[in-house]
């Protein structure tokens, strides 16, 4: 399959294609969630001028036989694959108007495993928060929880409530009720990144800064400080909250200066908030173009562990959320030159 063919027939990836895979990968399954992810991914591919790869995955279900002879029965693979190919063709038609190079594939296997393998070659994975049951199994749903924690590249999760801002429609009654309750809120052209003083959060800040440049948006670095708990082992007792906030603001200012040194053309601001990190970042997701998080953090004063803050934001976000995996970055080496590190003892 030619990667630059605008209307390719979907197929499985062979070894050579897998090695060449790059750009943005989006998982689809025919659901409204998948359609929102597809539109966001196509726009991002245009923005980055990178190829778009559409993928769906299925596995053939096996049922225990009910007869006295026992054994197992399987569903005809060809019927399931035809359904998967129809979904991919529909996705190709939907993005045909975008100025991107696009290809597609139908993969036989567990969706988590398929997409995790692709994350080793892709620069970004995009998917919805939930999807259909049935033949694509776990492509969207539990996969949207598994992938951010284990993917080798950044992931972006698109909740269905984003349908309005993406020009999509949905008949999902829960989403329509949420939209009616909250009303149409203007989207601010800003990228928000949550920080907690960990190295992983600083990696997320660098990725968020690059994304803000692509979007022509300012970067807002947000630190949320919850009420004292026993996890604040690094905070001297008795806790002086006002002094704590002053110290954190100094460290945030140093972080802003560091980011500006690497992105001199980027507008960068910081925001220090008294409150739960999950609540603060979920609220930010209502009006931001994108919220960016690290995969895990120090588990200290903002506890950005995937499974706590990051997982909570992913499950309740009202806008796109990017999760950035931990990785080496030479730009981290000079952070200490700009002042005290956030959360350092």
**Model confidence pLDDT, tens digit, residues 208-238:** 999 999 999 999 999 998 876 544 445 555 5
**In the predicted structure, residue 2 carries a pLDDT above the cut 50:** no
- Phi, psi (degrees; rounded to nearest 5) at 143: -60, -35
What pLDDT shows up at residue 313?
87
Which tens digit of pLDDT belongs to each residue from 248-299?
999 999 999 999 999 999 999 999 999 889 999 999 999 999 999 998 655 4
Kindly tell me the burial class for residue 183, based on how many C-beta atoms sit within 10 Å of its own C-beta (0-12, 13-18, 19 or more): exposed
Question: Which one is predicted more confidently, 330 or 178?
Answer: 330
Domains of the chain: 15-62+74-178 (3.40.50.620), 187-338 (3.40.50.620)
Q: Which of 173, 209, 228 is nearest to 332 (CA)?
A: 209
Q: Give the residue, 171 or 150, on which the prediction is more confident.
A: 150
The more confident residue out of 232 and 92 is 92
Provide the H-helix boundaries in 32-132.
32-48, 77-94, 111-119
Distance in angstroms between the alpha carbons of the first and the last residue of the chain: 55
Average pLDDT on 163-184 reads 74
338 against 308, higher pLDDT: 338
Q: What is the mean pLDDT of residues 76-80?
A: 75
Are the C-beta atoms of 75 and 60 separated by less than 8 Å?
yes
Q: Which tens digit of pLDDT belongs to each residue from 21-58?
A: 679 999 998 888 889 999 999 999 999 999 999 999 88
Q: Per-residue pLDDT tens for 113-160? A: 888 999 999 999 999 886 544 333 344 445 566 788 889 999 999 998
Say which residue, 271 or 84, is predicted with more confidence. Answer: 271
């Amino acid at each position: 399959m030619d990667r630059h063919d605008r209307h390719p027939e979907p197929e499985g990836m062979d070894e050579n294609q897998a090695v060449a895979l790059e750009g943005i990968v989006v998982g689809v399954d025919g659901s409204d969630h998948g359609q929102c992810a597809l539109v966001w991914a196509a726009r991002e591919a245009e923005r980055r001028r990178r190829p778009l790869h559409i993928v769906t995955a299925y596995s053939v279900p096996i049922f225990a036989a009910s007869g006295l002879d026992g054994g197992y029965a399987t569903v005809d693979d060809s019927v399931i694959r035809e359904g998967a190919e129809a979904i991919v063709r529909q996705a190709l038609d939907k993005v045909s108007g975008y100025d991107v190079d696009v290809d597609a594939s139908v993969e036989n296997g567990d969706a988590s495993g398929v997409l995790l393998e692709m994350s080793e070659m892709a620069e970004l994975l995009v998917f919805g928060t939930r999807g259909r049951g049935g033949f694509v199994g776990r492509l969207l749903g539990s996969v949207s929880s598994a992938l951010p924690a284990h993917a080798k590249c950044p992931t972006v999760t698109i909740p269905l409530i984003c349908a309005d801002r993406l020009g999509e429609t949905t008949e999902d009654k829960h989403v329509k009720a949420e939209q009616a309750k909250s009303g149409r809120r203007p989207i601010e052209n800003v990228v928000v990144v949550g920080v907690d003083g960990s190295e992983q959060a600083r990696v997320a800040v660098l990725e968020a800064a690059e994304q803000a440049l692509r979007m022509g948006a300012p970067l807002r670095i947000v630190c949320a400080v919850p009420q004292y708990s026993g996890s604040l082992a690094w905070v001297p007792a008795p806790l002086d909250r006002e002094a704590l906030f002053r110290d954190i603001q100094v460290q945030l200012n140093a972080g802003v200066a560091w980011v500006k040194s690497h992105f001199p053309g980027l507008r960068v601001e910081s925001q220090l908030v008294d409150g739960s990190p999950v609540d603060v970042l979920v609220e930010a997701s209502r009006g931001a173009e994108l919220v960016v998080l690290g995969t895990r953090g120090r588990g200290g004063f903002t506890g950005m562990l995937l499974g706590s803050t990051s997982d909570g934001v992913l499950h309740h976000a009202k806008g796109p959320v990017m999760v950035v995996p931990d990785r080496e970055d030479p730009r981290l080496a000079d952070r200490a030159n700009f002042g005290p590190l956030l959360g350092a003892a």
